[in-house]
Amino acid sequence: MNFFDWQFAWDILPQLLEASLKTIGITLGGFAIAVVLGLILAVGRRSRLPWLSWPVTGLIEFIRSTPLLIQAYFLFYVFPNYGLNLSALQAGIIAIAIHYACYTAEVYRAGLDAVPRGQWEAVTALNMKPLTAYRDVILPQALRPILPALGNYLVAMLKDTPVLSAITVVEIMQQAKNIGSESFRYLEPITLVGLFFLLLSLALAWFVRRLEDRMEVAR
């Protein structure tokens, strides 16, 4: 095996960067869905209505107990047999979004549980509607302590995007594998991909920390 070929690394960089846009898009798009869906699932799970809380609890536990890979396979390879045709990218984003929604749902649940009961009682005593109460009173208090945990899942989700290469999504890892199998050189593409994930993870962690600081100041 030769030593690291800088020229080759330079040559394949544009291809990898192009594919990295897909990785970033999947992460941001998937996480945007996951944080909203996760909140809805958490509220559903905490509901006093058993016909709502039971199925939601079941879904969360099911998704968390099975690999993302299998969920992605079902969406992309099995569901088309039943008439649901999704592109690889669509299936990938939906799979990873639902997967992480179930994790963030548990984070939200912890945050919501931590809001003192007196806050809910005050909201009732002031006759506020549930939606207003969540938006103005409950969520702002629930979010602050769980922001680090949500940030961790954002980074974890980024690092899970290569799983989607298994359903033919050409994200940065799949691109690197393609380059490797064509050129028989894996050192450079895989190193660059590793570097990409390292830098992006650090950047996201920094961004989340800044967000926490801002929320701390905002009160």
Partner 1 sequence: MSMQQRFDDSPMVRPSRRDGSAEPLVRFDQVTKRYGSLTVLDQLNLEVSPGEKVAIIGPSGSGKSTLLRALMTLETIDDGVIEVDGEPLTHMPTAGGHLIPANARHQRRIRGRIGMVFQSFNLFPHMNALQNVIEAPVQVLGMSKAEASQRGEELLAMVGLEDKLGHYPAQLSGGQQQRVAIARALAMRPKVMLFDEVTSALDPELCGEVLNVIRQLGEAHNLTMLMVTHQMGFAREFADRVCFFYKGRIHEQGTPEELFGNPREERTQAFLSAVNEAH
Tell me which of 125, 182, 184, 217 binds partner 1, using CB under 8 A.
Answer: 125
Distance from C-alpha of 89 to C-alpha of 26, rounded to nearest angstrom: 8
Minimum gap (Å) between residue 131 Cβ and partner 1? 10
Q: Which of 124, 181, 191, 195 binds partner 1 (CB under 8 A)?
A: 124
d(CA 103, CA 38): 7
Q: Is 119 in the site for partner 1 (CB under 8 A)?
A: yes
Residue 121 C-beta: closest distance to partner 1, Å: 5
DSSP string, 173-215: HHHHHHHHHHHS--HHHHHHHHHHHHHHHHHHHHHHHHHHHHH
Burial class of residue 188 in the structure, from the number of CB atoms within 10 Å of its CB (0-12 exposed, 13-18 middle, 19+ buried): buried
Least distance from partner 1 to the Cβ atom of residue 114, Å: 12
In the complex, the smallest distance separating the C-beta of residue 136 from partner 1, rounded to whole angstroms, is 6
Taking CB under 8 A as the criterion, the residue among 11, 61, 121, 216 binding partner 1 is: 121
Any contact of residue 11 with partner 1 (CB under 8 A)?
no
Spell out where the chain has E strands.
Answer: none
The H or E element spanning position 22 is helix 6-46
Task: Find where tokens 């490797």 sit.
Answer: 180
Characterize 28-41 residue by residue with b for buried, 16 or more Cβ atoms within 10 angstroms of its Cβ, and e for exposed. Answer: ebbbebbbebbbeb
**Cβ proximity to partner 1, 90 vs 132, nearer residue:** 132
Q: Which of residues 27-66 bind partner 1 (CB under 8 A)?
A: none
Phi, psi (degrees; rounded to nearest 5) at 170 = -90, 75
Which listed residue (90, 132, 181, 191) binds partner 1 by CB under 8 A?
A: 132
Interaction with partner 1 in 99-118: which residues (CB under 8 A)?
116, 118
Please give the structure tokens belonging to residue 61: 């536990």
Q: Cα 174 from chain centroid?
A: 19
Indicate which single residue of 25, 140, 145, 148 sits in contact with partner 1 (rule: CB under 8 A).
140
Q: Least distance in Å: CB of 48 to partner 1?
A: 11
Pick 65 or 127: Cβ nearer partner 1: 127
Q: How far apart are CA 157 and CA 34, in angstroms?
A: 10
Among 24, 52, 128, 187, binds partner 1 (CB under 8 A): 128
Select 214 or 219, whichever has its Cβ closest to partner 1: 219
Residues engaged in binding partner 1 (CB under 8 A): 116, 118-119, 121-122, 124-129, 132, 136-137, 140-141, 219
